[in-house]
Amino acid sequence: MSPYQLEIRVKPRPGLLDPQGKAIHHSLNSLGWEGVRDVRVGKAIYVDIDAESSDSAVEAAEAMCRKLLSNPVTEDFEISVTDMSEGGES
Amino acid sequence: MKVAVITFPGSNCDYDLYKAAQQVGADASFIWHRERDLKGYDAVLLPGGFSYGDYLRAGAIARVSPVMEDVVVFANSGGLVLGICNGFQILCEAGLLPGALVRNEELTFQGKDVRIRVECSDTLFTSDYADGQILRVPIAHGEGNFEADQATLETLESDGRIVFRYVDASGATSDEANPNGSWHNIAGITNEAGNVLGMMPHPERAMEDILGSTDGIGLFTSLASSLSGLAS
């Protein structure tokens, strides 16, 4: 088993109204960033996990997303994994 | 008639719900979310509040509480389940109702009295109301904006499973009367079998004149008569 860190990014599905993103979008525009075309707000979840391999860590993360971390009705997710063992590579 | 009121850490309408159930003659008990015995109960009520501080998503953590496994079994075997506000959010997260409740369109928490129209009196929860009846009930939520994929929304509409809609004083659905941006002003829906109802407004807070409205009583008397009908 090796230590891995998972970064799980959960974001609102395209097409779904994201009122937080909309509010931030307006604020950025009013601060002068007129070129901002769209803002969407998601969340990042960091999970430290011991796993056999980076593949199995990602597999676990996918299952976590389906069961708890994301709501399939409204959200999509993306996963990155980093090998945290000494000399490990992502 | 035995009714279980489930209490999660962060529930805050459990006493209101308990009292509403007692008011219509039910033998109500509190069930802590770690308890797992729903045997002998005729209905399960999931209260409003902020279970687990709404962490992750409203209702997402509560739905993995031990008792929820039993609630799912109870619902799937035809038992009556009512979820109000956070209870509705938990039912969606648990997959007992379709869709999801996301952040209010205007981003702000909405705490006020609203009007809702009874869209269907032919349910186990609304038989003491008339079709089209307008009820005055409070809402208190930040995530009440009902979302689902288009096919689900159309099915809810065509199957008559939208039980309550937000309306204005004249009884018409309008954007102004919609406090959270819900699709087609949805305030409450049932599952396909009709034994699970989720709603954002709080009928349990509209049970006495001193609370400003008694329009919530009909929901609990309907529930009580459905249960006595099922028992006989």
DSSP string, B76-99: HTT-EEEEETHHHHHHHHTTSSSS
Question: How far is the CA of A58 from the CAs of A6, A85, B56, in angstroms?
Answer: 7, 16, 20
Residue A89 has pLDDT above 90, yes or no: no
A86 vs B144: CA distance, rounded Å: 47
What pLDDT is stored for residue A60 in this prediction? 98
Whether residue B20 contacts residue B53, with contact meaning beta carbons closer than 8 Å, is answered with no
Q: Tell the residue number behind the tokens 């676990």, with chain if given.
A: A60
Which of B104, B147, B181 is nearest residue A74 as measured by Cβ atoms?
A: B147
Tell me which of B13, B33, B143, B202 is the catalytic residue.
Answer: B202
Separation between Cα atoms, residue B217 and residue B197, nearest integer Å: 16
Residue type, B206: A
User: Residue B228: its pLDDT value, please?
Assistant: 87
Q: Encode pLDDT of B98-122 as tens digits.
A: 999 999 998 899 999 999 999 999 9
DSSP class per residue in A3-41: EEEEEEEEEEPTTS--HHHHHHHHHHHHTT-TT------
Write down the pLDDT at residue A17: 81
Give the residue-averaged pLDDT of A28-57: 96
Distance from CA of B27 to the nearest CA of A (A): 34
Active-site residue, B202 included? yes
The percent of residues above 70 in pLDDT, for chain B, comes to: 99
User: Which DSSP symbol is given to B222?
Assistant: H
Does the active-site annotation cover B33?
no
pLDDT at residue number B231: 64
Pick from B107, B148, B149: CB nearest A19? B107
- Active-site residue (options: B13, B33, B85, B119): B85
If interface means Cβ-Cβ distance under 8 Å, which residues of chain B face chain A? 56-57, 60, 64, 92-93, 98-100, 102-107, 145, 147-149, 181
Distance from CA of A21 to the nearest CA of B (A): 10
Q: Give the 3-state secondary structure percentages of chain B, helix then strand then coil, rounded to 5.
A: 30, 25, 45
For chain B, list the domains and their CATH numbers: 2-231 (3.40.50.880)
A19:B99 CB<8 A = no
CA distance B231 to chain A (A): 36
Over its C-alpha atoms, chain A yields an Rg (Å, rounded) of: 17
Among A79-88, B14-23, B99-108, the range scoring the smallest mean pLDDT is A79-88
pLDDT at B174 over 70: yes
Q: How confident is the model over B127-134, as a mean pLDDT? A: 98
